[in-house]
């Protein structure tokens, strides 16, 4: 770890500043270094980071929490599906294969924090046996070189800015490290039903932490879906060593047990309005470009 600790000392900053840096670095690094990414060297750095994290004690706790969350997903194959799998000589548990979507990773070729977050993502995929091709990533900060690196690793790079508005049709792990509240809120809105929410595992910022750091009136007005989800989601805090505070702080595994969702009145789910964010000048999300 000696070679890496120097990087952490240079990169160390206040927690709030660490989150803002992802947005700030887009204008600096993605344009100037777009065609200067050494794919081989960057892939090696990422794999070195994977090897380093794999030896950390806190990684084992992350792995255990993910496995617990995955085993509790409210999704079971139908009898016909189980029979079909058995007829083919396959284990019916294979039907419960997770997919993965990652938003807002940042410029990992130049940002140490983003690189370690990507390394953690690769470890999580391995732990849940999610094929690399079944993990889709998007960040407007990615340069063309970084997109090539992700493809070299075997991952799928999305070309459209979904603004987090992706509906789940099967069990899906969403990896949203230090993303803006609007991205989480959009994701919840798009899946705001007792059928879709239980299919989701989110690894990202704690919802209760967001609530604590935001004025209550504004939180309920601007991020109503997170506000409602706080009381019915299940959060498992993930540990973070002090030297990696800029990378993994305030992170939790978040799931949505059906039994908790059913406690909400039926009117909760009726025609949920799309978030507008009219009162949010600092939205912390890159919106999709609209034709002029």
Whichever domain contains 168, its CATH number is 3.40.50
Q: Return the residue matching tokens 């706790």.
A: 61
Query: Does the pLDDT value for residue 192 go beyond 50?
Result: yes
For residue 133, the model assigns a pLDDT of: 97
When divided into structural domains, the chain yields a total of 1
Query: Does the pLDDT value for residue 35 go beyond 50?
Result: yes
Domain contains 11: no
For residue 282, the model assigns a pLDDT of: 79
What beta strand segments (E) does the chain contain? 99-103, 135-138, 156-157, 172-176, 200-205, 234-237, 251-255
Domain contains 162: yes
Domain contains 253: yes
User: What is the residue range of 273's domain?
Assistant: 57-73+94-282
For residue 27, the model assigns a pLDDT of: 37
Interatomic CA distance for residues 98 and 185, integer angstroms: 22
Domain contains 210: yes
Interatomic CA distance for residues 86 and 150, integer angstroms: 35
Mean per-residue pLDDT, 182-189: 97
> What is the model's pTM?
0.82
Domain contains 48: no
Domain contains 14: no
């Amino acid at each position: 770890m000696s070679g890496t600790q120097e990087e952490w000392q240079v990169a160390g900053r206040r927690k709030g500043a660490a989150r803002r840096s992802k947005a700030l670095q887009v204008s600096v690094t993605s344009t100037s270094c777009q065609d200067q990414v050494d794919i081989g060297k960057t892939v090696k750095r990422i794999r070195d980071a994977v090897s380093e994290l794999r030896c950390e004690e806190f990684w084992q706790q992350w792995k255990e929490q993910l496995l617990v969350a995955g085993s509790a997903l409210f999704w079971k194959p139908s009898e016909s599906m189980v029979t079909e799998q058995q007829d083919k000589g396959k284990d019916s548990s294979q039907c419960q294969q997770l997919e993965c979507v990652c938003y807002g990773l940042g410029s990992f070729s130049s940002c140490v924090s983003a690189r370690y977050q990507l390394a953690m993502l690769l470890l999580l995929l391995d732990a849940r046996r999610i094929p690399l091709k079944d993990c889709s990533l998007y960040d407007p900060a990615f340069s063309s070189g970084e997109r090539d690196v992700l493809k070299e690793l075997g991952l799928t790079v999305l070309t459209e800015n979904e603004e987090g508005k992706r509906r789940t049709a099967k069990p899906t792990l969403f990896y949203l490290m230090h993303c803006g509240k609007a991205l989480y809120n959009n994701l919840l809105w798009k899946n705001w039903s007792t059928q879709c929410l239980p299919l989701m595992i989110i690894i990202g910022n704690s919802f209760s932490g967001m609530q604590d750091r935001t004025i209550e009136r504004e939180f309920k007005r601007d991020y109503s879906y997170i506000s409602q989800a706080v009381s019915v989601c299940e959060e498992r805090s993930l540990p973070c060593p002090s030297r990696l505070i800029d990378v993994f702080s305030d992170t939790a595994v978040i799931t949505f047990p059906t039994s908790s969702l059913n406690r909400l009145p039926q009117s909760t789910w009726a025609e949920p309005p799309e978030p507008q964010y009219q009162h949010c000048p600092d939205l912390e999300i890159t919106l999709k470009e609209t034709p002029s």
